[in-house]
Amino acid sequence: MIWRFALLLCLAGACRTLPTAHDFGWADQQSLGALDAAPHSDSKLVSDTCGNGECDADETLFSCLADCGALAARRAGPCAAPGTPDNCPAGLTCVLLSAAAGGASCIADFPTWQTLPLGRAATDFAGQGDVVLDAWTGLRWASDPLENMTFSNATTACTQQTFGGRHDWRLPTRAELQTLVDYSPSDGRKPALLVAALQWPKTTREFWTANHAPNPADGALSISFAQGWTYAFPLTDLLAARCVSASGTAAKSIQRFEVLANGAAALDRISGRTWQRMPQGPATWPQANNACLKNLPGLPGAGWRLPNVRELDDIVEMRTQHPMLDDVFSDNPASTYWSATPIGSTMWQIDIFRGGAQAAANTSNLFHFRCVR
């Protein structure tokens, strides 16, 4: 698959040495062929300007890795207020690392990896002693969790770990920890991953993220691996923590979302998906699903649908104000939004006020929605 991608770049006049997966913090096992199989939406496989050294408006991470690889960069910095957006670029949050790893740094709190499936297979993960490598994201996880930790203790304890001889262990951002949630069960089964190499605590399934809640008085965000929900807990509560280590290049300023010519939609240049900018609703789930499938909002092009829960969660940004979405999305009520992912007889929804997946809701409830393709 790699030779196919390289050949296409050459045919487009951009024959040059491509960065490797390692350059962007992806797992070494991941091939560019996996990127080739990802959705491209409004972007061509190779854009006409690919290879000019600039990530142009019509290019995405998938259409031109050579120019837009920085969209997958995970780290910028430094910063001074761990747990907050501080002075970080949009979409990044300040996270504490050890002094040997550079100290507090701005870390991407949005997906810098290819689109994940709703369910995660055990074969995605490889145990390497105390370290578990996720072949999809390139993230390295501590196999054993820390237990009964306050937010401060968990933050410090992760920076002191040296698993695998690495000194860059830290608390994961919300977006990173969310990759371990299994959203595939439609029968209400607990969403903790059934991966032998990942151990789970017996006392709690609530895990700290590195993010303070949008309202600092609420504490910090956690993810429940009993329900898959995102919660805010007081900083002094005792939760679990799973430390993460992630290689990655330094980020530079590249605009993630590009407003398309019609103004009604925006292209996500990381995922290749096109999003409706203006929210719709409130509506029941059947009404929302029908509106997207039949394109009742009158959006340009075909193939519109409700996003699944991972896709919808991917555009949530940790901010100190509400709603927690990029400014490209207009007129957003601080509300919950429907996803297309079922759980039993209910549907997952995302709360852009609290910052992540929330309790599944009955389909007769009235929520807002945003179509994608």
From edge to edge, which strands make up the β-sheet containing 336-343? 280-283, 367-369, 336-343, 346-351, 356-361
Lowest mean pLDDT among 8-17, 255-264, 306-315: 8-17
Q: Are 318 and 85 in contact (CB under 8 A)?
A: yes
**From the CA atom positions of the chain, what is the Rg in Å?**
20
Q: Are 278 and 291 in contact (CB under 8 A)?
A: no
pLDDT of res. 290: 97
Choose one of 225, 245, 265: the last residue of a domain: 245
Same-domain pairing of 181 and 80: yes
Q: Are 81 and 67 in contact (CB under 8 A)?
A: no
Q: Give the total residue count for the chain.
A: 373
**Helix, strand, coil percent values for the chain (each to nearest 5):** 20, 25, 55
**Does residue 52 fall inside a structural domain?**
yes
pLDDT of res. 279: 92
Same-domain pairing of 235 and 342: no
The residue ranking higher by pLDDT, 366 or 326, is: 366
Q: Alpha-carbon distance 266 to 83, whole Å?
A: 29
Same-domain pairing of 264 and 332: yes
Same-domain pairing of 236 and 281: no
Same-domain pairing of 44 and 86: no
Q: Shortest CA distance to 39 belongs to which of 318, 349, 372?
A: 372
User: For the whole model, what pTM was predicted?
Assistant: 0.80
| pLDDT tens digits for range 22-46 | 333 333 333 222 322 333 333 333 4
**Does residue 251 fall inside a structural domain?**
no
- Type of residue at 357: A
Residue 179 confidence (pLDDT) above 50: yes
